[in-house]
C-alpha cells in the first residue's frame, strides 16, 4: 500500500532526465544473464550481491557498475533491461524519459553498437506504443578514456543521427575536465545533437562553468557543487540552466553525508531549475518515486515543492514546447485538486 504522499508523487506527471540504463541492472536480472551466458558471479546470492553495493566514492561504484555491465551481451539483453526499467518508471508516474547509455563500455569488449542501440530502442518504441511513455536517447562518452576514442565513437554513431538526440559525459570526473572533450562536443553540436554533461558531482564548480562555456551544454547532470561558487549559482538561476540532481546517488556515493544535508531544497528556493532523478537505481536503492520520497522526508518538502520539481523536470526536458504545455497543464490540475500554489 502506498502512503498518501507516495500516491501524490506518483500522480504528478514527471520526466526522468538522468538515468544510466546500465545502472538499472537489478541483481535478479544479473543472475539470469549470468546463467544465460555461462558466467559465474562473485556473489553467493541475489541478496549478497545487493549487500555488496557499499560505496566510498564514485570510483568504487564505477568499478562494480562496469563489472555488472559485462553481463549485457546481445540485443535481447539490452531490450530486457530497458523494458524492465520502463515498466517500473511507468508504475511511478514517469511520462517521459531521457536515457543515457555508454556505448564504449560495450563496444570495447566486442558487443556490436547495433545490438546495444537496437535493443534499447526496441524497448523504448514498445513503451511509447503500449504505455504512452515518450523518450530521448543520449549517448555518453566515458571521460576516463581519451578524446580521440570519444571522437571515434561519435563518428560511428552519426549515421544513427535521428535515433540519438544528444551526447553526454560520464564516468570518473576528477582529473577529466569538460574541456578535454571540446572538439568532440563541437562536432556533435554541429551535427545537430544536443549536449549535456556530468559536472560538479565529485569535480569542482569550475567544471560546471566549463561545461557551460566550452561544451555549451543545455543541462548539467548533478551540479550540486555549484554552491561553492555563488556567482555560478546566480548564473544558473539567471540563465535557467537545469540541474539533474540524483539524491539517493549523492548519499550512496558520499557527495553528502546524509540526506538532511542535501542542498536540493536550498537550490530550489534560490530559483535554480532543479530536477530529481535516479541515476543508477539498481545500485542506489531506489527509482524515481523513492528519490522524491527520500528528499521529501529528509528536507520536509511541501507538496507545492514536489509539484515544482515535477514541473521543472518537464521544462528541463527536450520535449517540444507544445508537449511541455500539455504536461504543465496536467501538473497544474494535480496541484489544483490539492489547492496548491506552487509557482
Ligand atoms: N556513470 C553511471 N553513473 C554515474 C555517475 N553518477 N557519475 C558519473 N558516471 C556515471
Ligand atoms: Zn549519472
- What is the predicted pLDDT for the residue at 342? 78
Measure 171 CA to ligand 1 centroid, in angstroms: 5
- What is the predicted pLDDT for the residue at 340? 83
Measure 328 CA to ligand 2 centroid, in angstroms: 26
Domain encompassing residue 65? 4-341
Ligand 1: does its nearest atom lie under 6 Å from the Cβ of 296? no
Mean pLDDT of all residues belonging to the chain: 97
- What is the predicted pLDDT for the residue at 39? 97
Ligand 1: does its nearest atom lie under 6 Å from the Cβ of 280? yes
Interhelix angle 4-11/288-299, rounded to 10 degrees, is: 120
Give the whole-angstrom CA distance, residue 337 versus residue 124.
32
- What is the predicted pLDDT for the residue at 87? 98
Protein residue whose Cα sits closest to atom 1 of ligand 1: 171
Contact 173, 203 (CB under 8 A): yes
Across the beta sheet with 219-222, the strand order is: 14-20, 94-101, 134-142, 166-170, 194-199, 219-222, 243-245, 274-276
Bridge-based pairing of strands 274-276 and 14-20 is unpaired
What value does the mean pLDDT take over residues 130-152?
98
Residues 6+ apart with CB under 8 A from 149: 104
- What is the predicted pLDDT for the residue at 78? 98
Grid coordinates given for 330: 496536467
pLDDT band at 142; cut points 50, 70, 90: very high
The vertex-100 CA angle with 42 and 263, nearest 5°, equals 90
Residues 6+ apart with CB under 8 A from 323: 134
- Pick from 219, 221, 224, 204: nearest CA to 267: 224
Is residue 201 annotated as a catalytic residue, yes or no?
yes
CATH number for 325? 3.20.20.140
At residue 240, does pLDDT exceed 90?
A: yes
What value does the mean pLDDT take over residues 234-238?
98
How many domains in the chain?
1
Amino acid at each position: 500500500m502506498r502512503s498518501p504522499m507516495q500516491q501524490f508523487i506518483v500522480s504528478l506527471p514527471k520526466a526522468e532526465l538522468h538515468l544510466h540504463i546500465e545502472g538499472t541492472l537489478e541483481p535478479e536480472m544479473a543472475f539470469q544473464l549470468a546463467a544465460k551466458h555461462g558466467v559465474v558471479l562473485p556473489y553467493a546470492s541475489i541478496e549478497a550481491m545487493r549487500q555488496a553495493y557499499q560505496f566510498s566514492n564514485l570510483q568504487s561504484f564505477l568499478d562494480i557498475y562496469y563489472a555488472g555491465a559485462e553481463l549485457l551481451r546481445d540485443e535481447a539483453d539490452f531490450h530486457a533491461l530497458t523494458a524492465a526499467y520502463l515498466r517500473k518508471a511507468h508504475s511511478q508516474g514517469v511520462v517521459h524519459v531521457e536515457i543515457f547509455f555508454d556505448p564504449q563500455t560495450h563496444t570495447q569488449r566486442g558487443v556490436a553498437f547495433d545490438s546495444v542501440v537496437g535493443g534499447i530502442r526496441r524497448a523504448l518504441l514498445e513503451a511509447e506504443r503500449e504505455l504512452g511513455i515518450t523518450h530521448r536517447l543520449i549517448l555518453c562518452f566515458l571521460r576516463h578514456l581519451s578524446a580521440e576514442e570519444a571522437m571515434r565513437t561519435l563518428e560511428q554513431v552519426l549515421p544513427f543521427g535521428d535515433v540519438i538526440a544528444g551526447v553526454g559525459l560520464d564516468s570518473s570526473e576528477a582529473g577529466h575536465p569538460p574541456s578535454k572533450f571540446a572538439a568532440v562536443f563541437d562536432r556533435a553540436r554541429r551535427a545537430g545533437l544536443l549536449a549535456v554533461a556530468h559536472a560538479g558531482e565529485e569535480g569542482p564548480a569550475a567544471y560546471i562553468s566549463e561545461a557551460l562555456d566550452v561544451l555549451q551544454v543545455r543541462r548539467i547532470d548533478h551540479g550540486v557543487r555549484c554552491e561553492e561558487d555563488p556567482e555560478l549559482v546566480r548564473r544558473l538561476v539567471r540563465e535557467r540552466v537545469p540541474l539533474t540532481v540524483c539524491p539517493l546517488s549523492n548519499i550512496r556515493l558520499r557527495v553528502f553525508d546524509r540526506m538532511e544535508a542535501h542542498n536540493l531544497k536550498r537550490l530550489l528556493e534560490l530559483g535554480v531549475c532543479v530536477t530529481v532523478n535516479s541515476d543508477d537505481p539498481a545500485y542506489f536503492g531506489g527509482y524515481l518515486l523513492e528519490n522524491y520520497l527520500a528528499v521529501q522526508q529528509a528536507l520536509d518538502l511541501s507538496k507545492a515543492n514536489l509539484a515544482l520539481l515535477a514541473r521543472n523536470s518537464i521544462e528541463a526536458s527536450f520535449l517540444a514546447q507544445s508537449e511541455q504545455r500539455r504536461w504543465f497543464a496536467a501538473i497544474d490540475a494535480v496541484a489544483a485538486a490539492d489547492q496548491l500554489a506552487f509557482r
